[in-house]
Amino acid sequence: MEKLMSDEDKLAKLLSSDTDFILDKSEDILSMKEGKEIQKQNSPLGKMKLLLKTIKGNEATACKFCDIVREHQAHYPSLQQELKSGAQGSSTPTVFADANSAVTTGEVRDTKVKQSLKFEAKTVSQPGRSASGNAAQQVRQANLDARDGSIIMADKVIGATIEGDLTFSACVGQPACLGPVKETLPQVRVTQGPAEKRITEHKVKITECLMADHVYILQHMQQEKVITKRKYDKLMHISQPEESIIDLIDHMLDNGEESCSQFLEVLKQPDVLATFPKLIEMTKNWS
């Protein structure tokens, strides 16, 4: 699927045989504005190209879209055949790391991590030691090839919600006999935006406040186009107010910074504050 996602033109053509179907299934991962822009395109192919361009702008959204395509691939016979062909021609990546190097291939999929998540790789560089003989042959054949004191981090986070920071850390150190000199590679951090962080920090209080009249806030969110009509209907069918609000907040966090900002703006509206007085103090310092 990842290979097909990288070829936007091909995937757009495969999906253009029924644009309404895939757009309907993708409604929950698109904002109202994004959906309207896609529908404005003159041709089915144009709609699909803009859809793919839109969802690829957010890694979490792209992962969800991949899951949607896999789930409904039978609706597109040509796409299904393409996916089968790709699966037959692919295999688990082969890995090779010499004595000085390291390769990591961890995976976190479809889960919630309530704290920060860190992938870490360390190795000790020992000049003069390298692959040879049969090992050298393995190196030429491996998909992930780490040599000469290098680190390859091929870890994956797919369809997961991480409430804290996501950190990738790689460290190449010197042997003990050469002293404690250490070269640390830069950390790559993927952090939440201001609105996402604020919602995460106040999630419990917001939930306790809004569940007092969950119908009102859901109606307001739908009227302000923060959520789609389809999502609104799903939330309204949840019998427990607390579960409904938690689902709403999780949906905002899943959709990223823009949706979270829109959500917070609705909470600051005068009529909403009048309905939920506890929000007045809570939102006082929200900019």
How confident is the model at residue 191, as a pLDDT? 61
pLDDT-based confidence at residue 217 (cuts at 50, 70, 90): very high
Beta bridge partners of 146: 97
Report, as an integer, the average pLDDT of 208-215.
Answer: 91
DSSP letters spanning 49-103? HHHHHHHTTSHHHHHHHHHHHHHTGGGSHHHHHHHHHHHHH--PPPEEE-TT-EE
How confident is the model at residue 238, as a pLDDT? 87
**Residues 75-124: tens digit of each pLDDT:** 888 887 777 665 544 456 677 777 777 778 777 766 677 677 777 777 76
User: Where along the chain do its domains lie?
Assistant: 2-89, 95-190, 194-283
Is the pLDDT reported for residue 198 higher than 80?
yes
How confident is the model at residue 103, as a pLDDT? 78
Is the pLDDT reported for residue 128 higher than 70?
no
pLDDT-based confidence at residue 38 (cuts at 50, 70, 90): very high
How confident is the model at residue 267, as a pLDDT? 92
Going from the C-alpha of 70 to that of each of 8, 80, 88, 102, the distances in angstroms are 16, 8, 15, 33
How confident is the model at residue 177, as a pLDDT? 42
Beta bridge partners of 112: 161
**Residues 139-196: tens digit of each pLDDT:** 445 677 877 778 888 888 776 777 777 787 877 766 544 444 444 444 444 567 888 8
Task: Report helix, strand or coil for 167.
Answer: strand
Distance CA 25, CA 21 (A): 6
Contact between 115 and 164 under an 8 Å Cβ cutoff? The reply is yes
Task: Report helix, strand or coil for 124.
Answer: strand
Residue 184, C-beta contacts closer than 8 angstroms, at least 6 positions apart: 169, 170, 171, 172
Q: How does strand 188-190 pair with strand 144-146?
A: unpaired
Task: Report helix, strand or coil for 120.
Answer: strand
Between residues 280 and 132, the one the model is more confident about: 280
Q: Which of 157, 151, 153 is nearest to 117 (CA)?
A: 157
Between residues 68 and 138, the one the model is more confident about: 68
Distance CA 235, CA 119 (A): 35
Q: Which of 100, 93, 90 is nearest to 130 (CA)?
A: 100
Is the pLDDT reported for residue 41 higher than 80?
yes
**Residues 58-72: tens digit of each pLDDT:** 878 888 888 888 888
Tell me whether domains 2-89 and 194-283 share a fold.
Answer: yes
CATH of domain 194-283: 1.10.533.10
How confident is the model at residue 182, as a pLDDT? 44
Going from the C-alpha of 180 to that of each of 29, 48, 154, 176, 286, the distances in angstroms are 49, 55, 27, 6, 46
The region of weakest confidence among 24-28, 90-94, 178-182, 215-219 is: 178-182
User: Cβ–Cβ contacts within 10 Å for residue 99, how many?
Assistant: 14
Q: Does domain 2-89 have CATH number 1.10.533?
A: yes
Contact between 106 and 148 under an 8 Å Cβ cutoff? The reply is no
**Residues 230-270: tens digit of each pLDDT:** 899 899 998 888 999 999 999 998 888 889 999 999 999 99
Structure tokens at 133: 């003989």
Report, as an integer, the average pLDDT of 270-281.
Answer: 90
Report, as an integer, the average pLDDT of 39-62.
Answer: 88
Residue 110, C-beta contacts closer than 8 angstroms, at least 6 positions apart: 158, 159, 160
Element (H, E) at 282: helix 278-283
Q: What is the pTM of this model?
A: 0.41
Is the pLDDT reported for residue 47 higher than 80?
yes
